[in-house]
């Protein structure tokens, strides 16, 4: 096998080099990107936060980053569909590994996440985070807003996550309310897609409920998102339970009546004009998964986010 290598996550000669690992073997970084803490020359960082102490139902999302990385091995180095390009030919991407958290001192978790994310964003231009439960988005937003200013929130989710919050809770169901009250997000420019539950308040955020998503074309959903954001800098957070449990059974709080992975991926494909400053994929809980269905969906969502980033960099020259 001439010119073939193995364990590309460790043996890569450059940040833009293609991997040749067999799909079934090799070190499982995200899409075989180099595992490193060195941010020199890096544009985009993939980072894991294995935290699920904020869950209100089934725990297990702490294993999400591992599962998503494992599932990403199916993406070989052919041009990635539907972007028809090698995503890493001109975009330097690394896998920064995971955030180190003390499971016995959860009150320290938000500050640790925000601090470590800020360290990454001091040198990298874009951070894609793999969760973990949805609470992690709040400290991530703090780090992103410190760099970019208040952001519009584009939230794919079955839940509004706007339940009561006293500013101290470690709760994946209240982080949006806290972010709105703290001015991290602009509610008037924010939008939630796929919501199939009710919370006491909407914080002024526009909602595309599950039944509306079912009736709309993917292109219409994407156009609605872009029109509502209106060119404002945005943060995209993707809770895997946005998808119907048929397409994402491995999650902590599944809700029936959601869209297919095909439809939502088509929506993401239509968001090329979004001024996305950061993103996360959360709530993948592999203990409840079957045949890696949910992990594959999560890894594919992450791939689409990177694809949009690669296209934007290419168009900017």
Name the token pair of 223: 């156009």
Q: In this predicted structure, what is the pLDDT of residue 165?
A: 85
The yes-or-no verdict on residue 2 having pLDDT over 70 is: no
Q: In this predicted structure, what is the pLDDT of residue 1?
A: 42
Q: In this predicted structure, what is the pLDDT of residue 13?
A: 83
Sequence-distant (≥ 6) Cβ neighbours of residue 52 within 8 angstroms: 59, 60, 61, 62, 64, 132, 133, 252, 285
Q: In this predicted structure, what is the pLDDT of residue 70?
A: 97
| pLDDT tens figures, 248-303 | 999 999 999 999 999 999 999 999 999 999 999 999 999 999 999 999 999 999 99
Consecutive H or E run containing 296: helix 293-315
Mean pLDDT for the stretch of residues 168-197: 94
The yes-or-no verdict on residue 49 having pLDDT over 80 is: yes
Sequence-distant (≥ 6) Cβ neighbours of residue 92 within 8 angstroms: 15, 16, 41, 42, 43, 44
Contact between residue 261 and residue 277 where contact means Cβ atoms under 8 Å apart = no
For 313, the 3-state DSSP assignment is helix
Q: In this predicted structure, what is the pLDDT of residue 167?
A: 82
Question: Would you place residue 54 in the very low, low, confident or very high pLDDT band (cuts 50, 70, 90)?
Answer: confident
Q: Where are the domains of the chain?
A: 8-315
Q: In this predicted structure, what is the pLDDT of residue 317?
A: 73
DSSP state of 87: T
CA 226 vs CA 139, 144, 152, 182, 268: distances in Å: 25, 20, 11, 24, 11
Q: In this predicted structure, what is the pLDDT of residue 3?
A: 72
| pLDDT tens figures, 21-34 | 888 898 999 999 99
What is the C-alpha separation between 276 and 261, in angstroms, rounded? 21
Name the token pair of 179: 């972010």
For 227, the 3-state DSSP assignment is helix
Which residues make beta-bridge pairs with 234?
Answer: 152, 276
Contact between residue 63 and residue 48 where contact means Cβ atoms under 8 Å apart = no
| pLDDT tens figures, 122-168 | 999 999 999 999 999 999 999 999 999 999 999 999 999 998 888 88
Name the token pair of 218: 């993917």
**Rg value, the chain, Cα:** 18
| pLDDT tens figures, 213-252 | 999 999 999 999 999 999 999 999 999 999 999 999 999 9
Consecutive H or E run containing 264: helix 261-269
Name the token pair of 167: 């500013």
Q: Helix, strand, coil proportions of the chain in percent (round to 5)? A: 35, 15, 45
Consecutive H or E run containing 229: helix 218-229
| pLDDT tens figures, 83-122 | 999 999 989 999 999 999 999 999 999 999 999 999 999 9
The yes-or-no verdict on residue 41 having pLDDT over 90 is: yes
Q: In this predicted structure, what is the pLDDT of residue 276?
A: 98
Matching CATH number, 8-315, of 3.40.800.10, 3.30.420.40, 3.90.1150.10, 3.40.1030.10: 3.40.800.10
Q: In this predicted structure, what is the pLDDT of residue 22?
A: 85
Task: Give which of 185, 182, 173 is closest to 282, Cα–Cα.
Answer: 173
Place of tokens 């985070």: 129
């Amino acid at each position: 096998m001439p010119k073939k290598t193995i364990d590309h996550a460790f043996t890569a000669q450059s940040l833009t080099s293609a991997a040749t690992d067999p799909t079934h073997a090799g070190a499982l970084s995200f899409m075989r990107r180099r595992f490193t803490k060195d941010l020199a020359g890096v544009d985009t960082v993939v980072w894991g936060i294995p935290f699920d102490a904020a869950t209100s139902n089934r725990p297990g999302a702490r294993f999400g980053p591992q599962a998503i990385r494992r599932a990403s091995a199916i993406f070989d180095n052919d041009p990635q569909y539907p972007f028809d390009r090698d995503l890493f030919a001109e975009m330097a991407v690394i896998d920064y590994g995971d955030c180190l958290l003390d499971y016995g001192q959860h009150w320290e978790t938000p500050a640790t996440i925000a601090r470590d994310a800020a360290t990454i964003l001091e040198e990298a231009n874009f951070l894609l985070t793999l969760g973990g439960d949805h609470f992690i988005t709040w400290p991530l937003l703090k780090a992103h807003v410190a760099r970019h200013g208040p952001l519009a929130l584009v939230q794919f989710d079955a839940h509004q996550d706007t339940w009561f919050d006293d500013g101290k809770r470690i709760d994946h169901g209240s982080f949006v309310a806290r972010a709105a009250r703290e001015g991290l997000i602009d509610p008037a420019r924010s939008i939630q897609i796929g919501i199939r539950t009710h919370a006491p308040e909407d914080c002024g955020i526009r909602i595309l409920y599950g039944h509306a998503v079912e009736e709309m074309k993917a292109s219409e959903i994407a156009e609605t998102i872009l029109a509502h954001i209106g060119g404002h800098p945005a943060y995209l957070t993707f809770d895997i339970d946005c998808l119907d449990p048929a397409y994402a059974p491995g999650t902590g709080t599944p809700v029936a009546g959601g869209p297919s992975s095909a439809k939502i991926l088509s929506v993401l494909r239509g968001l090329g004009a979004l001024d996305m400053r950061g993103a996360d994929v959360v709530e993948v809980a592999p203990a409840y998964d079957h045949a890696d269905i949910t992990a594959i969906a999560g890894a594919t969502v992450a791939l689409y986010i990177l694809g949009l980033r690669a296209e934007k960099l290419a168009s900017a020259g």
